[in-house]
Homo-oligomer: A and B are copies of this chain.
Amino acid sequence: MEIKIPSEEEMKRFMAKAMVEAQIGLATGGIPIGSVLVIDGKIVGRGHNQRMQKGSAILHAEMDAIENAGRLSPSEYSKATLYSTLSPCDMCSGAALLYGIPVIIVGENKTFQGPEDYVRSRGVHVVVLQDERCIEMMEEFTKDNPGIWNEDIGEKD
């Protein structure tokens, strides 16, 4: 099946929605990473990192968005684009691979970079926008909260 890459305008528009999710996360005491799952130009799931709010080890932003989208069929996932304000980690990348989500749009990979090359080698189209607002949001948070941040990415202090 041919992979449909979103237009630049569409990428920016949905990344802005992922940023809103990140801001909701921050405002509710959490780690400011947001995500949306889009199918046929419509958001089917929104999410943000829930480590602090729900004491969750698995609800990274992307996982939260995928969970909030509910049970979807393989053919629905095959038309989906996953947006995240931050480069997806091994777990979130793995979720995208499991479900055959063909396109991932990344806000930034400067403060953290997941296994983008591996994900590309599995046939996924990964675009990194390197958005300054995403970088600033994460740089500020990780500087002020190194312990929480290291826990979230499984890094020893």
Decide yes or no: A58 and B51 within 8 Å by CB, A74-B151, A95-B90, A153-B98 being known contacts.
no
Q: Are B55 and A63 in contact (CB under 8 A)?
A: no
Is A91 close to B, CB under 8 A? yes
Is A3 close to B, CB under 8 A? no
Decide yes or no: A67 and B77 within 8 Å by CB, A91-B94, A99-B154 being known contacts.
no
A17 to B9, CA, bound (A): 51
Q: Are B118 and A77 in contact (CB under 8 A)?
A: no
Is A36 close to B, CB under 8 A? no
Q: How large is the interface on A (under 10, 10 to 19, 20 to 34, 35 or more residues)?
A: 35 or more
Q: Are B70 and A57 in contact (CB under 8 A)?
A: yes
Q: Are A66 and B74 in contact (CB under 8 A)?
A: no
Is A69 close to B, CB under 8 A? yes
Is A143 close to B, CB under 8 A? no
Chain A residues 75 to 112 lying within 8 A of chain B, measured CB to CB, are 75, 77-78, 89-95, 97-100
A155 to B100, CA, bound (A): 8
Instruction: Determine the residue in chain B with the shortest Cβ distance to A88.
Output: B94
A residues near B, CB below 8 A? 51, 55-58, 63, 66-67, 69-75, 77-78, 89-95, 97-100, 118, 150-151, 153-157
